[in-house]
Structure 1
Amino acid sequence: MTSTANRAIIPVMLSLDKGDVYTLWAPSWREHGSEWQAFLGDDSGVFVFDSPEALLHYLESGNKFDLSEHPKWAAFAQMPADRVVPAENHHFDVVGLPALLAERPSYENVSRAAAIVNITRSLATVSAADDAVVFYASHSITNNLARGFDHYSSEAGFEEWTGLGQVILSNWKKVRTALDNQVKLVEISDIPAGTTERIAKATADREAARKEAEAQRAQEAAEADPYDLSPWSAAGIDPVKIFIDGSTLYTLRTYVNGSPVFLGKFGEIFTFNSSKALVRWITEHDDHDLAKTATWENLVATANAGELFVQVHRDNTYSFRGLAEAILKGPQEVDTEQMSAAYEIMADAADWAADDSMNAFFLANPRMQDYISYMLGAPEHAGYVPTAPFSDHADAWRELEKLLMRRFSKS
């Protein structure tokens, strides 16, 4: 075992001069302050097998090997039978590396070459394959593969890729021979019947579980509220859309210690006829109550970067359209959800403005307070039941709308 950074135990397939073989690789782990890497084997070399079935039988036969010292070996040994089946990206064509480097440095080719160099360097170090160790120590050009595709995308990078190919072509046979000498093919002749079926079933179960988890993630993503990912949600300051008196208005609101704070000052709510006008205004003005909040500058910075767009959550949309007319027709014609939302924005505005206009209105119109309590299911209506005619209620509601609109300043 020798040193290098943290991953678990993985099955791999190596295409060597002696053929395609299977083994286990622990790319790295940390123990007692040091980093280690290992392959399945012992002091005599690295053990490889000609099939996943042979590898599984060897592991389950009580044999001794160094990898059992890995801190996650017990967990690996408890995994299903397909723990010995390499993923597609863990097939390493060691023999084919020179041919791969003869091709253009595409993203896939660079990634595959980097993976082959990484595992052969690890195999050389762990098994003390001297010629391979010397090769890597003498040719630092191989280290740049870890920088990825972008490193080879320029003209200079392409020239380096060509130079790397020449280095590999000239030395790779010697490297492969050194690795082959340290790899011990363990021949297994007594693989129990049904081993292939065990592995196939475990693989199928894992794939079914993967698809189920993928479907669950897709469902959760489809059900997720996109607003939760917006800058508004992150800042805790929400765009508000209000349909009232034939107009569509936009403003902003947040809550501080449970109390509403609007975009505005001195009881005047700044409203805009378009969402774009609202965003433009944000970048040019800071004399308002929301500018005192801790997250306001985050929104301003996003707006200045041209990345802020008004996104109104359905819970922050308020419509007064047709409410007075519905009240006039009778309680059964009123959309109570619409009325509840409209009353919420009126109450929030009055609360933020810290004036008594709504309280004074209800003192002067006590039956309207009872009516709203009745319609919204509040207990305060104390047995009150509205009776026709409803013209007074409709007129009173229009007065409440006017109280709200007097707070609006179309900027």
Structure 2
Amino acid sequence: MARPSIVPIALTVDDRTGYTLWAPPWEEDGEEWQAFLGTSEDDRASVHLFPTPAALAAFCRTRTDHDLADHPVWPVVVGLGAADLTPDDDHRYDLDGVYDIAAENPDRWAVEELAATVDIVSRLAECLDTGDEDDLTDDEELTDTDDDRDVDADVELDRRPDAEVERGGEFGSLAELVARPEIGSLGLGVDAFVGRAGEDAWLGVGAALDDLWEDVLEELGAHLDWTGGGTVALADYPSAEEAAEAEDDLADEDVDVAPTGATAAGATPVSAIARPGRIRANPSQVAEAAKFWEAVGILPVEVVVPEGAGVTLRCYVEDEARFLGRNGEVFVFPSPEQLTRFCAGDEEHDLTEIASWPEVADTDTPPLPAEQDRYDLTELTDVMAEVADGAAGLVPHRAIAQPVEGVRDIAEYAGLDRVEQLLRPTEPLGRAVARAEVEPDAPLRAEDAAAVRAAWDEVVTQVSGALVFRD
């Protein structure tokens, strides 16, 4: 059975960044649970925050008086260091920055970042609301997993995919915020904000945040323990900018390619279905490089297939994907440096005619893929195998979404008709993809995974045949 996971996250509030741990929903004794690193005293639940990943790691090594101590993979977390407990880009939530994001144009990144921020705050609220059981909605009912658990002293909440924060409770402002239809539209992606109606919806998102976000932060702030369970002081916290610089010092300054299967010590058992990309760089390097690549409209993309892993470039021309390649073949390079050398050469390819290509050919900005542009097709293969072998309830449909996004683009560019057939809504894989769009948290069932797995294996074979590994 697939293992539950514990993921390091960072929260930025009031120009202070705190690090903690989140256990995404997992199944135990027939119930679905999620939790954060925290405790409850006098009927008030709190999440422990730490000024650095190192302080978080030190707490994990020495303390067991918290609600993750009996999590199935906690023994692994105890042995992890600061580098292993440093969040990736997808698990950093800037609660101060929502107004700035809402003021931007509603592109994919802005919509996804706002949606992720509202989602993590909702998950925190669901776990931290210690209201009486009778005051909870049917979908929020607290449950025990064994006779030794005390509901009032545990921040773990049985969270089903349709759970919501109750209006009028400890997080009433948050409940009011997420009930706004414009906020609900964030989960539909950037397409919900296209056209005149979409523009109005995006303005509605900004208006909702203006009305309620400060109240939401006040509600949440009452449950944030910035002392790390009494192990640190507020004076230990750097500013958000200083925290980012400290992480840069922790990370390797050189961009390199991690060997196949190489991850931080213990990373695989901690997060069985969220392994890092093969092209490794610290977050500030990726963010700095993204300024150039987004400006030219051509983005670095990482693809991982059974035959290997590498980086390429992709843009969209009249909403159709176009890759660095020729005649339907995608050129993939084992490192950003090798891709950069190719771009500076004079070989003809399908991006040569793009207006901004001369800037790409002349730049020394490394092509570092952002997290949303990494497509590990082998990871989903492994996930499908685990689910088919009985890991039902541990893998949500959302695990399908990002790999399929990359597959669709490559299939479109390479003319892979068979892939398009397998992704039709009438086919098992297509049905799973469709459900991932409307019910991303719905767990994959073992009986569905077998058929989906066979189709996905064929998709991966097709896509692998369109990749040409260059050096």
Output the TM-score relative to the length of structure 2: 0.40
Larger radius of gyration: 1
Higher percent of residues as helix: 1
